[in-house]
Amino acid sequence: MIDHQIIIAIDGHSSCGKSTIAKAVAVRFGYIFIDSGAMYRAVTLYALRHNLIIDGEVKREELIGALPEIRIDFRYNPERQRSDTFLNGENVEEEIRQLTVSQNVSPVATIAEVRKAMVRFQQEMGRNKGIVMDGRDIGTVVFPDAEFKLFVTASTEIRAKRRFDELKSKGENVSFDEILQNIMERDRIDSTRKASPLRKADDALVLDNSDMTREEQMEWVIRNVEEKLEGTSSKFQVPGSR
């Protein structure tokens, strides 16, 4: 019987399925899921609503000054059996997933003061462990001592196709090329920003899920988490990887 809890940090590129994996792992082990990306999306939504982003340009100093006015929390939604994101008391879970927010979130996330504010909040939530958090810098900055770290990636085209299908299923009028360009630009910004750039933690397992089904991914991740919880050191290989 495993009676101890750990922190599970999941990082990776946009639209590679990090949140899907994180949510499923949280359910499987009875952990709390924290979507760090939703926090940056909520800040971006606040900025858009208050005209702090004009033609893709963030009014940096004004947004920094507004940070004390931004309150983000997560509340469990029994209908969806997962947590919704709330911005200053308003459920914004659907709105923060729209393309307009996706197109502007990376520049907001490059602002060091924004990241520091979010990291403080995330670390507070992980104080008692028993959490799964996904994002861009969870295993490198937020929880560098996390017991289990995973870095998820997939080819650009496959990630764009997944995101395109997701948005189309919600009735949004988007083009594949638009989505592809958005993902490529987000990759560039995430990997080159000065504040907490996206990179794999040295001790993270890598999961390239380009050619894996959701079931294969989950089986692989859960087996590795179970090994970590049991204190073993061997690692399973991703099917087809070297």
pLDDT in tens, 60-113: 999 999 999 999 988 878 887 778 899 999 999 999 999 899 999 989 998 999
Confidence band, pLDDT 50/70/90 cuts, at residue 209: very high
Confidence band, pLDDT 50/70/90 cuts, at residue 3: low
Question: What pLDDT does residue 2 have?
Answer: 52
Contact 132, 25 (CB under 8 A): yes
Question: What pLDDT does residue 232 have?
Answer: 43
Residue 3: CB partners within 8 Å, gap ≥ 6?
none
What mean pLDDT is predicted for residues 127-146?
92
Cα torsion 151, 19, 219, 233: sign = positive
Q: How far apart are CA 71 and CA 66, in angstroms?
A: 11
Confidence band, pLDDT 50/70/90 cuts, at residue 237: very low
Task: Tell me which long-range contacts 154-161 makes (C-beta under 8 A, separation of at least 24).
Answer: 154/13, 154/16, 154/17, 154/208, 154/209, 154/210, 155/210, 156/180, 156/183, 156/184, 156/187, 158/210, 159/13, 159/14, 159/15, 159/16, 159/183, 160/15
Q: How far is CA 17 from CA 21, 42, 111, 158, 207, in A?
A: 6, 19, 25, 11, 11
Confidence band, pLDDT 50/70/90 cuts, at residue 236: very low
Residue 58 identity (one-letter amino acid): V
* 3-state SS, residue 231: coil
Average pLDDT, the chain: 89
Share of the chain above pLDDT 90, in %: 64
What mean pLDDT is predicted for residues 222-242?
67
Q: How far apart are CA 17 and CA 23, in angstroms?
A: 10
Is the predicted pLDDT of residue 242 greater than 50, yes or no? no
What mean pLDDT is predicted for residues 112-121?
92
Name all domains of the chain by residue range, CATH numbers in brackets. Answer: 7-229 (3.40.50.300)
The first and second tokens of residue 9, run together, are 């940090």
Considering the entire predicted model, what is its pTM? 0.74
What mean pLDDT is predicted for residues 222-235?
77
Question: What pLDDT does residue 238 have?
Answer: 52
Question: What pLDDT does residue 36 have?
Answer: 87
Nearest-CA neighbor of 135 among 155, 163, 105?
105
* 3-state SS, residue 148: strand
What mean pLDDT is predicted for residues 204-229?
94
Nearest-CA neighbor of 11 among 200, 214, 185?
200
Confidence band, pLDDT 50/70/90 cuts, at residue 194: confident
What mean pLDDT is predicted for residues 122-140?
90
Confidence band, pLDDT 50/70/90 cuts, at residue 30: confident
